[in-house]
Amino acid sequence: MSDATTPVLKKELDIVIPTIRNLDFLEKWRPFFEPYHLIIVQDGDPSKVIKVPEGFDYELFNRNDINRILGPRASCISFKDSACRCFGFLVSNKKYIFTIDDDCFVAKDPSGKEINALQQHIKNLVTPSTPFFFNTLYDPYREGTDFVRGYPFSLREGVPTAVSHGLWLNIPDYDAPTQLVKPLERNTRYVDAVLTIPKGTLFPMCGMNLAFNRELIGPAMYFGLMGDAQPVGRYDDMWAGWCTKVISDHLGLGVKTGLPYIWHSKASNPFVNLKKEYKGIYWQEELIPFFQSVSLSKECTTVQKCYIELSKQVKAKLGKVDDYFNKLADAMVTWIEAWEELNPPKSDALPNGPPK
């Protein structure tokens, strides 16, 4: 992998940033982000002018643009919530996506060197994952390590990696109750590891330092209905993560977590967060067993087919928990319709992968 002065996959990767403010934070990322194309999704008041530092190649979409491009299907894109970032996933035409929040800055490793988060995500995505058998030296494709004794040779080729989930130094990604009881807690531990999350294991995906292979898993990266006029917030990335993991497991794709770290600079208000989260905290005790028990049919050979079948199961089983999930299930279908409209299949396209 080349160093920071030589951009990797420059023509194959978009950086997606949801925001409500001027993007001064990009100055800190300039050495790493400037060669790449940015997709900025402006949330909130579309008449507000968002300032972007000079020198960056970007497109900016506000709510008026979303309504114009999607028409009636714009209803599936959340308003007044960072879940709107998934519109950027929808309109990108690149193979890879890296998405980051505007309160995240460049972290440093224990030696004091600035971390090129984007470069590490790319390493994670272009090397295989090992979801079927755990390697006790973690990522066997990393320089200086390998498969340990006893690891089946038949599984050493691994599977394509769909998702790279990065972590955060300083402000940890806690829910509101944990924030309230640990208001001063900061994450200072730098764990130099990348792990494949095993098949059948769910995880809480955070969207503020996340990369994925859009061609492999893009249609599953829907961040749901959150924010304005919705009964819940701050579960957008969680929902996308649960859906993505279940579909990745079905299609034989991998999900990694660990490096890279970013510096999360600002803790959001725990009382505001609690108001957004409280129904989600209650509902997740139903949601997790649901996703743990999801079974997709062998006919589901693409992400889109998986997602439509999953939406039906959401409506049938979670619709009983709250009517919100009936609306969410409908929005999942609308999302796939929008995806297929903006991303028509190539004539030589192959299925995402065989069901496992």
What is the per-residue pLDDT across 256-290, written as a single tens digit (0 to 9) for each? 999 999 999 988 999 999 999 999 999 999 999 99
pLDDT of the residue at 347:
58
pLDDT of the residue at 4:
46
**Is the pLDDT confidence value at 352 over 90?**
no
pLDDT of the residue at 3:
47
CA dist 214 → 12, 95, 151 (Å)? 10, 5, 30
pLDDT digits (tens, 9 = 90+) for 136-184: 999 999 999 999 999 999 999 999 999 999 999 999 999 999 999 999 9
What average pLDDT does the segment 305-334 reach? 98
Whether the pTM exceeds 0.75: the reply is: yes
What average pLDDT does the segment 9-32 reach? 97
Where does the pLDDT of residue 2 fall: very low under 50, low under 70, confident under 90, or very high at 90 and above?
Answer: very low
**Is the pLDDT confidence value at 351 over 90?**
no
What average pLDDT does the segment 344-353 reach? 62
pLDDT digits (tens, 9 = 90+) for 228-260: 999 999 999 999 999 999 999 999 999 999 999
Rounded percentage of the chain residues whose pLDDT exceeds 90: 94
Rounded percentage of the chain residues whose pLDDT exceeds 70: 96
In angstroms, the CA 291 to CA 227 distance is 23
What average pLDDT does the segment 105-116 reach? 98
pLDDT of the residue at 1:
46
Question: With contact defined as beta carbons under 8 Å apart, do 117 and 32 qualify?
Answer: yes
β-pair partners for 168: 262
**Is the pLDDT confidence value at 348 over 60?**
no
pLDDT of the residue at 345:
82
**Is the pLDDT confidence value at 5 over 90?**
no
In angstroms, the CA 241 to CA 17 distance is 18
pLDDT of the residue at 247:
98
Amino acid at 219: P
pLDDT digits (tens, 9 = 90+) for 305-316: 999 999 999 999
pLDDT of the residue at 7:
77
Structure tokens at 199: 């098949």
β-pair partners for 196: 256
